[in-house]
Chains A and B, each alone.
Chain A
Amino acid sequence: MIWVNAVIQGLLLGGLYAMFSCGLSLMFGVMRFVNLAHGDFAVLSAYFAYVLVEHAGGTPLWTFAAVVPAAAIVGFLLQRLLLDRALIGSALSPLLVTFGLSILIENVLQQSFGANNESLFVGSLSYESWKVNNSIYLGRLQVIVFVIAVVLIAGLQLFLSRSQPGRLMRATADNRRSAALSGVNERRVRATATAIALATVAIGGLFLAMRTSFTPTSGSNDLIFAFESVIIGGLGNLWGTLLGGLILGVAQTIGSQINPADGILAGHLVFLAILAYRPQGIIAARYADS
């Protein structure tokens, strides 16, 4: 039963990873853009929520209403003012620009908040659980995060496959020239994609901060899990990212069950094994493979 429990807890953890990673997957899928500051934006969102709670009080749950729209606006402006310019240069320049952004965010946060561990405390929600049987308990927050992750990814996938803005994103990813010749404003498509990506990263960042803790530099570590989820599932594919997150989560909890210190290592090993034997990911890209 402990193994069943490990798998279930792993799935719940994996939901968080998937939620955290889907923005990375979207930006890569639509723009072939690797955002190395992805994890730092999650941490930045968490600090924003932290400051809001400090000043306005209440439970961190209400801060979603402020942080997520703010992240979307930041994403839109970031793409328009900075990342669009990076795309004009070589394939390397987006990496350099977002790497620089990552260093900038981490240092500004460290200057402002110090290097202490912080957490968003959501009261009884953070420790209450539902009992399944004597050996399996499901943390309420964990279950809520998992459900929201699945709904978020399903919603995003539905947006991409059914709505006109989503269709234009896939069209731009598929054939930029044809998209422009069809009257698609590529700059707006990119800015919208980044706005959505940062909104999802803010949701992921806040839940991450509620489930565990964060420091100014923890974004870089989180980024590794996000990359692993995205690559295990298959680049630029949202269902793949969900699956990748779940596989990574289960690998980590099973690893921890074998030896508590080896959880993270087990996740990395599964990632490396998939990279070696199925480098295109579990599900090959459904869009954006032009």
Chain B
Amino acid sequence: MTLLRLEGVTAHYGHLQALDELTLSVEEGEILAVIGANGAGKSTLLSLVSGELRPSQGAVYFNDADITSLEPYRRVRLGISLVPEGRQMFSTLTTQENLLVGKASHRRGPWNLDTVYDVFPFIKKRRNVRAGLLSGGEQQAVAIARSLMSNPSLLLLDEVSLGLAPVIVRDLYAALRDVAAGGTTLLVVEQDLTEALGIADHVLCLLEGRVALAGSPKNLTQSQVLNAYFGLHEAAPDTGTGPS
């Protein structure tokens, strides 16, 4: 079943066009990775889904309901949760308080303090420390855990690996695999191609606001991905199963 669908979505920042009539869908339970160079429109795509940005054209559907003009906090209540780039901690609140704020949407589900501490045991020890004092990796874990506390059906992740040591990134992605195994659908925006291709069922490569390549990581060659990523020459979109 299709969980999220974007239809002919165009987005602007002022006069700058960030997305150009993009259409894509995310199936329930899958992991879609969106890759692309800086300015390709990846974060814009997430903003459209989280509700922080309204498209200038096109529509966003979640569970077949039109959510194009719904405010961000209402989308969280429907089950869409974004882990924003740069962690965005409540820096004056403790780790545990950050997690408790994640319950604001009152959604029921498997995630609570105990279960998120099980997935990220190292933040449990830091639960009474102010989030502003945590390390980057700890903050990223808290940001993911805080989103999980809303029991999302669709988890959006923006640049989880940014500024973190590879070993920490590996741990975080291991935890995300557990989350996905529990049935949560993931939409991952990532510059770290190894992690993105490693976790994804489907990959979408954006180039200047358009889909340059789509398909399953297993069926894509490295040169196809790199060509699409850098726009070296027109990469023929894969005819496979992925979103187009």
Contacts and interface: CB of A to CB of B under 8 A. Distances in A.
Contacts of A185: 73, 104
Interface in B78-95: 81-82, 84, 88-93
Given A167-B97, A177-B84, A178-B84, A183 B92 contact: no
A288 B132 CA distance: 13
A164 B93 CA distance: 12
3 nearest A-B pairs in the assembled complex, by CB-CB distance: A183-B105, A183-B76, A178-B88
A288 B90 CA distance: 10
Given A168-B101, A170-B93, A181 B88 contact: yes
A170 B150 CA distance: 18
A290 B92 contact: yes
Interface of B: 50, 52, 71-73, 76-77, 81-82, 84, 88-93, 97-98, 100-107, 146-147, 150
A180 interface: yes
A6 B150 CA distance: 54
Contacts of B88: 175, 177-178, 181
Interface string A164-203: 1001101100110111111111100000000000000000
Contacts of A184: 73, 101, 104
A181 B104 contact: no
Which of B72, B82, B101, B147 counts the most chain A CB atoms within 10 A?
A: B101
Contacts of A168: 101, 104
20 contacts: A164-B104, A170-B93, A171-B93, A171-B101, A174-B91, A174-B92, A178-B88, A178-B90, A179-B90, A179-B101, A181-B72, A181-B76, A181-B84, A182-B76, A182-B105, A182-B150, A183-B104, A183-B107, A286-B92, A290-B92
Contacts of B71: 180
Contacts of B103: 164
A99 interface: no
Contacts of B100: 164, 167
B81 A181 contact: yes
Contacts of B89: 175, 178
A181 B81 CA distance: 7
A287 interface: yes
A78 B29 CA distance: 45
Given A171-B97, A182-B147, 12 more contacts: A164-B100, A164-B103, A164-B104, A167-B97, A167-B100, A174-B91, A178-B101, A180-B71, A180-B72, A181-B73, A183-B102, A184-B101
A167 B92 contact: no
Q: Chain A at the B interface: mostly helix, strand, loop or mixed?
A: helix
Contacts of B76: 181-183
A181 B103 CA distance: 11
A183 B150 contact: yes
A289 interface: yes
Contacts of A180: 52, 71-73
A204 B194 CA distance: 62
Contacts of A178: 84, 88-90, 101
Contacts of B77: 183
A185 to B, nearest CB: 5
Contacts of B106: 183
A193 to B, nearest CB: 15
A186 B73 contact: yes
A287 B94 CA distance: 11
Interface in A133-191: 164, 167-168, 170-171, 174-175, 177-186
Contacts of A287: 92-93
B92 A288 contact: yes
Which of A168, A181, A287, A288 counts the most chain B CB atoms within 10 A?
A: A181
A244 B15 CA distance: 50
B116 to A, nearest CB: 14
A167 B102 CA distance: 11
Contacts of A170: 90, 92-93, 97
